[in-house]
């Protein structure tokens, strides 16, 4: 995945599938994994992450009144980072354009916090694995 000069880069699922396909078949005289199998693998990983996040949201829903001060649940992917889902209660706010009072509805917020391993790979790349991580994320 090549980097561009823009401030934001979009990596498509097709690009990820292509990279997985290349990685699983590198240095092989015969194709071991098809593109279709690579696509299925990527889809299954994404589905697993989505299912786990949805499960954490359900845990927050079921906690009800027992929610602590900062209700949140974390999905940790070792060596990669944490997906954090938080419940934000409704609260009063103001419309910044006209100063009118409004009610900000309750909602769930999903954030990502990279692990120290990922931060280190980005800030101090060493070797081909770190270069892959920093190249894919730049």
Does residue 99 come out as left (phi exceeding 0), alpha (psi in the -120 to 50 range) or beta? left
Task: Return the pLDDT at 34.
Answer: 92
Task: Return the pLDDT at 42.
Answer: 97
The Cα 7–Cα 89 span in angstroms is 33
Element (H, E) at 46: helix 35-63
The Cα 125–Cα 138 span in angstroms is 12
pLDDT beneath 70: ranges in the chain:
1-6, 64-70, 127-138
Q: What is the set of domains in the chain, with CATH numbers? A: 13-137 (4.10.520.10)
State phi, psi for 125 to the nearest 5 degrees. Answer: -65, 135
- 38-58 pLDDT, tens per residue? 999 999 999 999 999 999 999
């Amino acid at each position: 995945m090549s980097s561009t000069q823009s401030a934001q880069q979009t990596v498509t699922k097709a690009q990820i599938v292509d990279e997985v396909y290349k990685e699983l078949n590198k240095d092989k005289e015969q194709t071991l994994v098809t593109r279709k199998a690579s696509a299925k693998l990527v889809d299954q990983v994404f589905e697993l992450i989505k299912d786990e996040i949805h499960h954490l949201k359900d845990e927050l829903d079921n906690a009800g009144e027992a929610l602590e001060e900062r209700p949140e649940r974390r999905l940790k992917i070792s060596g990669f980072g944490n997906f954090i889902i938080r419940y934000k209660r409704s609260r009063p706010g103001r419309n910044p354009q006209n100063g009118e009072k409004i009610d900000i509805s309750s909602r769930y917020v999903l954030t990502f916090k990279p692990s120290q391993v990922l931060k280190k790979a980005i800030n101090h790349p060493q070797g081909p694995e770190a270069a892959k991580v920093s190249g894919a994320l730049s």
